[in-house]
A = this chain, B = another copy of it.
Amino acid sequence: MEHDASAAEDRDHKFLAIAIEESYKGVESGDGYPYGAVIVRNDEVVVSSHNIVLRNTDSTAHAEMIAIREASQKLDQVELPDCEIYASCEPCPMCFGAIHFSKIKRLVYGATAEAAGSIGFSSYTGDAWKDAGFPPLEIKKIDDSGAEEVFEKP
C-alpha cells in the first residue's frame, strides 16, 4: 500500500514536471506568460501546452484552455471525463470553469495563484465556487515541485 502511494506520488510529480517545463517554454518562446498544462489519459500525455496569449493575440489563450481544446480535438471528444489535467499553477477562474465544463476528473497543480500574484500576475482562484454545486472534481496541490520558481525574479 505504501508502495502504491509512492508510485502515485511519483506519477503526479512526473506529469507536473512536464507542465512546469511548459511554463518556462511559454516565456522563453515569447508566446505568453509562465503557465503550462498537461492533459493525461490512461497514464499517457495527450497534450502539453503553454500560455499563448501573446502569440495568438487572445486573452483567453491560457495554458489550460489550449490544453483542453487540443485534447478534445485530438481525442475527438467534446468532454474529457477520462482525463486528468496537470497545471503548473492553480487555475484562474476562467480555466477553473473550463475544467469543470470539460468534465475532467482530476486537477493537480503546483504553484499557488498567490505566488503568481506576488509578481503581478492574476491571483484570482476558483475558490469562490467550491460551494457552488459544481460536479465533483478531485483537486490536489503538490508542494516542492519547483513550480513557484518560474514566478521568482531572476
Contact = CB atoms under 8 A, between A and B. Distances in A.
Interface of A: 53-54, 56-61, 65, 68-69, 72-73, 76-80, 92-98, 100-103, 122, 124, 128-129, 132-134
Q: Which 8 A-B pairs have the closest CB atoms?
A: A94-B97, A93-B97, A128-B128, A59-B102, A58-B69, A94-B98, A60-B98, A59-B101
Copies of the protein in its oligomer = 2
22 contacts: A54-B78, A57-B72, A57-B73, A58-B68, A58-B73, A58-B78, A59-B72, A59-B79, A60-B69, A60-B101, A60-B102, A93-B94, A93-B97, A94-B94, A94-B95, A94-B97, A94-B101, A97-B124, A101-B122, A124-B134, A128-B129, A128-B132
B128 A59 contact: no
Contacts of A77: 57
Chain A interface mostly helix, strand, loop or mixed?
A: loop
Contacts of A100: 93-94
Nearest to A75: B57
A60 B56 contact: no
Given A93-B129, A128-B132, A134-B124, A73 B98 contact: no
Contacts of A76: 57
Given A58-B78, A61-B69, A92-B97, 17 more contacts: A53-B78, A57-B73, A58-B73, A59-B68, A59-B101, A59-B103, A60-B65, A60-B101, A60-B102, A92-B101, A93-B94, A93-B97, A93-B100, A95-B97, A101-B122, A124-B133, A128-B128
